[in-house]
Structure 1
Amino acid sequence: MSEIYVSDPIHPDVLADIQAAATVHLGYGPHKVDYLDISANIDAVILRAENFTRDIIAASPQLKIIARHGVGTNNVDIDAATEHGVWVTTTPGANSNAVAEHVFALLLSGARRVPTAVSRVHAGNWSEGKADLIGFELSGRTMGIIGFGAIGRRVAAIAQGFGMTVLACDPVATEKEVTAAGARLVPLDVLITEADAISIHAPLLPSTRHMIGAQELARMKKTAFIVNTSRGGLVDESALAAALTEGLIAGAAFDVLEAESIDMKDPLTHTPFPHTTIPGLVLTPHIAGQTEEAFLEAGTGSWAEVKLVLAGHAPTHPVNNALSPANA
């Protein structure tokens, strides 16, 4: 029987299916195991919030596939996996709607000062200080979307439902497809200066790291609000903390942090954002893709990839070629 490691919670129905077909080791909960204690016998990994480095992959001689429960692969050493003949797969589209909806949960929370208002009510303050809880409406404003893939297009559709004008910036998107989605394709510098709200949906690459830094923040409207549900590291967080403190922009809401590259399960100890001292900042703990529907789809998709590979077939959504000449 195959042995499978599941790094973090997945949909219970999917987990039950896996447990019926294989020996399962969990990286969470009361029966949590340390992966390196069992790595020698693991055939497949279903991976969420854990870093799979070259050393970890090298310590897994039986490993055939790392199936990402999602679309990002920044926590997997793809080169090492390829060199060791290990497939790396994703579940594209599984959480697109969930992430897009969370963008607006964050944006509305900031626009309407929801966290501050809730904390005041919890403290017993109902009527005092309402004047500094005046928010802004989305209708009639401009949404700027950086990265116009599946999630970016869904964000555009929702933004138009709020009555927003949509700008899009994406180096591979065509003007025809952006226009068909009801948006206008513009360069990044135009988007930054014209948008009232900016939502980032770009991959983290050497070319995109800190794509929003001090210079870009300084050129945004003072009333601008920026949302990042994509990857930590796309925004220079130290520059963002300074911009918020100095009042250069109105607010920011992040579901991802750059420090997740250091410790995905506890990045707050490494972030430049002290817990509640940055004005206008809303943080959620990388939960944009966590809905019942998205969990079921991502879990089902990652398990399907594992079953294909363990049966000797190529996966449906690989990000590498584990059958490259070096490993053939």
Structure 2
Amino acid sequence: MTRIVFLDRSTIGPSVTLTKPSFPHEWIEHERTRPDQVVERLAGAQIAVSNKVPIRRNAIEKLPDLKMICIPATGYDAFDIDACGERGIVVSNVRGYAVNTVPEHTFALILALRRGLAGYRQDVIDGRWQESQQFCFHTHPINDLAGSTLGIIGEGAIGQSVARLGQAFGMRTLFAAHKNVQGLGPLYTPFDEVLATSDVITLHCPLTPATRDTLAAPEFAKMKKRPLIINCGRGGLVNEKDLVEALESGQIAGVGFDCLTSEPPLPDNPLLTVLNRPNVIVTPHVAWASQEAMQTLWDQVILHIDNFHAGRPSNRVV
């Protein structure tokens, strides 16, 4: 009987209905798994389900029965794809489930920061409105989205959906050409031009060696309009130390992040030093986690496992 082991059940919301594969199987589920527990827990398993628990070469070499890894996410940087390919292990991910939830979260951050919502909410909590003795007061800048420019780094399904929402708000939308790449065609605006002309810059691309530190000190120096920086893509796309320095020097107007280089953040993460500022919002990697999106994601996981068992693997990374 096929043994299937889910290494990190807690990464999927408890309200999601975890359906199971249609064929006879043994299902083993762990809420969390440390890296040093991977080999022990996957021993004898033919199929592993892992969202963020890394499965690296040293583990793969000790798991002769492993035939498939199914990732309940789109990103697969936690897995040794080369080692899986060498062993003939099928790796499947899920795609397209987040085309509504991530763009909506992106605009929740954009709107909250452009309208000063975090600062005004805190002012009311602190009693400043009550003390003002007038119907309104002006402690944080408010800017419309209509007529502003949205620079999008990443032109996939999520980036395209973000563009449509931006256009609905009356924004001019630009897709940035890939950093240090020329000749990508008319869809793209030169990377440096996007940096210089955008009021909001939002990242929706995968984390690869080529995209790591897409935004760092040299890029912040080119941002003439003091844009908001939004990251609902991947931690590591933005150099967090340089980001905080750009915020403190006034090169950027605010930060809305849903993903960090290390999750949860390590104590020395520089973003932790500015969390109390009204122009900084950090959410705990939940842009993808609407109820609807999580259920769609899980349904894809089971579909890919069923397809693999039937001899027709789907959404193959490897």
The 8 Å contact of residues 222 and 247 in structure 1, kept in 2 or not, is answered as no
Change (3 A) 1:124 1:219: same
Cα drift, residue 106 of structure 1: 1.1
Q: 2:141 aligns with which of 134, 138, 146?
A: 134
Output the CA distance in 1 between the equivalents of 2:45 and 2:118: 43
Determine which of 203, 211, 226 is the counterpart of 1:208.
Answer: 211
d(CA) in 2 for partners of 1:128, 1:48: 49
**Shift in alpha-carbon separation, 1:290–1:244, aligned structure 2, 3 A:** same
Checking the alignment, whether the CA contact within 8 Å between 1:144 and 1:195 is kept in structure 2 is: yes
- State which of 71, 74, 99 in structure 2 corresponds to 1:71: 74
* SS of residue paired to 1:16: coil
SS in 1 for 2:9: coil
Q: Secondary structure at the match of 1:157?
A: helix
User: 1:104 is aligned with what amino acid?
Assistant: F
1:233 and 1:34 map into 2 onto residues whose CA distance is: 26
Is residue 168 of structure 2 the alignment partner of residue 161 of structure 1?
Answer: yes
| Other-structure match for 1:223 | 226
TM-score computed with the length of structure 2 as normaliser: 0.86
Measure, in 1, the Cα distance between the counterparts of 2:46 and 2:208: 29
Deviation at 1:82, TM superposition (A): 1.5
SS in 2 for 1:293: helix
* Superposed displacement of residue 211, structure 1: 1.5
2:9 aligned partner: 8
- Residue number in structure 1 paired with 2:308: 309
Root-mean-square deviation (CA, aligned residues, Å) is: 2.5
Q: For the Cα contact (< 8 Å) 1:200–1:227, is it kept in 2?
A: yes
Aligned to 2:122: 119
The offset of 1:36, in angstroms, is 3.4
The answer to whether the 8 Å contact 1:208/1:234 transfers is yes
After the TM superposition, which of the residue ranges 43-52 and 135-144 deviates more from structure 2? 43-52
Question: Is the contact made by 2:228 and 2:254 (CA closer than 8 Å) also made in structure 1?
Answer: yes
Native 8 Å contact 1:100 1:151 kept in 2: yes
Aligned residues of 2:226 and 2:250 also touching (Cα < 8 A): no
Q: CA deviation at 1:278?
A: 6.7
> Taking structure 1 as reference, are residues 212 and 13 closer, same or farther at Cα in structure 2, changes over 3 Å only?
closer
3-state secondary structure, aligned to 1:274: helix
Could you tell me which residue of structure 2 aligns to residue 45 of structure 1? 48
1:164 counterpart letter in structure 2: M
Instruction: Using the TM superposition, give the Cα deviation of residue 47 of structure 1 relative to its aligned residue in structure 2, in angstroms.
Output: 2.1
Letter in 2 for 1:61: P
- Listed one character per residue, the Cα deviations across residues 103-154 of structure 1 (whole Å, up to 9, x for unaligned) are 1011112112223333344445444584222321111100011111111110
CA contact (8 A) 1:255 1:286 kept: yes
Q: Which moved more, 1:107-116 or 1:126-135?
A: 126-135
Change (3 A) 1:102 1:232: same
Deviates more, 1:250-259 or 1:109-118: 109-118
CA contact (8 A) 1:138 1:163 kept: yes
Task: Classify 1:317/1:252 alpha carbon distance in 2 versus 1 (closer, same or farther; 3 Å).
Answer: same
Residue aligning to 1:289 = 288
Aligned partners of 1:2 and 1:251: how far apart in 2?
A: 50
Q: Which whole-Å CA distance do the structure 2 matches of 1:34 and 1:117 have between them?
A: 46
* Structure 1 residues 319 and 173: CA distance shift in structure 2, 3 A: farther
Aligned equivalents of 1:212, 1:194: Cα separation in 2: 15
Distance 1:277 1:231, change over 3 A: closer
Q: Which amino acid is the alignment partner of residue 133 of structure 1? A: H
Partner of 2:240: 237
Partner of 1:269: 267
Pair 1:162–1:65, CA change in 2 (3 A): same
Q: How high is the TM-score relative to the length of structure 1?
A: 0.84
Gaps of 5+ in 1: 179-184, 321-328
Which amino acid in the other structure matches residue 71 of structure 1?
Answer: T
Identity over aligned pairs, percent: 32
Query: What is the number of residues matched between the two proteins?
Result: 303
| 1:218-257, Cα deviation, whole Å (9 max, x unpaired) | 1113531011111111111110010111221101111111
Provide closer, same or farther for how the CA distance between residues 278 and 56 of structure 1 changes in structure 2, counting only shifts above 3 A: farther
SS in 2 for 1:296: helix
Kindly provide the amino acid, as one letter, of the partner of residue 234 in structure 2. Answer: R
Between the aligned partners of 2:57 and 2:118, the Cα distance in structure 1 is 40
Counterpart amino acid of residue 206 in structure 1: P
Name the CA shift for 1:133/1:208 in 2 (closer, same or farther; >3 Å): same
- Opposite residue 191 of structure 1, the aligned amino acid is V
Q: Distance in 1 between matches of 2:55 and 2:115?
A: 39
Taking the aligned partners of 1:107 and 1:304, their CA distance within structure 2 comes to: 35
Give me the whole-angstrom Cα distance separating, in 2, the residues matched to 1:156 and 1:3: 43
